[in-house]
Structure 1
Amino acid sequence: MTAPGRTTATSARGRSIAVLAALVGGALALIGSTQTWLTASVAEAVLPVSGAEAVSVLRPLALAALALSLVLAIVGLALRYVLAAVAIAVGGAISWLSLNVALAPSASAASSVVTEHTGIAGDAAIADLVQGIALTPWPATTAAAGMVVVAAGVWTFATAHRWKRSGRKYEKGGSRAGRDEAAPLDAIDSWDDLSRGDDPTR
């Protein structure tokens, strides 16, 4: 028989792991969008291409993962499963698009930068202009970040039914009387208490 305090600690840990994984994966993907993914050699110039320039939807996807991590901490059971599916889709898209650049870099990934530098547009014309492409580690790093977001979604699917329901510990205007006093607090519980004006150390 599992003790109530241990069950509460396990559920809090499951929620914290999912939120933290989505947050870290989204933050790393967002950082990756600002870094140089590759350099394209055009005539006498070497043009750096950032993640957001190589994959135009990378930054919105990373921001979606960050937003998802914040919402995941407070929603009810049904929405946890919805957000888990969204996390898998968003993380999978980040990884897939990043791996396409990491494994098969092409002139098209630098098209926006080359067009800005030369005024020439069109995939065929840009392919003729680009003399060489050199990769950095960031496409692979960002692909790994996407997999962390996917893992957060899978973990949520596996553990969401054991998470403590948001707001369950509050009764009669937000008191903490409804919570097992012996149950340990996690970081999200403490933040909730502070936002309600309660002292989480009592």
Structure 2
Amino acid sequence: MNNIKIGNLIKTLRIKKDMTQKEIGDMLNVSDKTISKWETGNGLPDISILSSLSEVLDTQIDYLLTGEISTNDNKGGNMKNTKFYVCDKCDNIIISTNEINASCCSSPLKELNVSDSLDKELIKVDFIDNEFYVHMDHAMTKENYISFIAYVTYDKVYLNKLYPEGNAEARFRYSGRGIFYAYSKTEGLYMKKY
């Protein structure tokens, strides 16, 4: 443990709360000199007081033990941020939870965006036997077909790849509220929240 780092964190958090060393000490039943020792790195809080100190400073105990506040800079990883990329040449589908630089067949891929001009009501969702039956009235010709239907929940992505001359439909086991997507190369990306 790095006494200086821990002391600096305690001091920073105390100042952020606009409190004096005496005020913190009174709340923890220790002297202001004890708080000063901690802040200067000449001592550390006893393990028995860490829980109370973390409450007073509105921080986590593990931050007090390391002297660092970890921030979650991960902007990805959240399924609500799911992005779809499709190759125009081979119809390969890439799914990501963050913006990426993707390429396929030697060409860069662009993120698919939901088109405001597409009628989201074309995606029909029926709940049958604990499953979502997702379907669309679509011709499904080789020139214009729905190439995938996806179901995105807060922690999962389900995707059914579709092919010309098949049906524009998919079944997904119920996994909570979510967003349904359907993609046609000529029309774009449809979206419907459910």
Place the TM-score, normalised by the shorter chain, in its bin: under 0.3
Q: Which has the higher strand share?
A: 2
Structure 2-normalised TM-score?
0.23
Q: Which has the higher helix share?
A: 1
Structure 1-normalised TM-score?
0.22
Greater CA radius of gyration, 1 or 2? Answer: 2
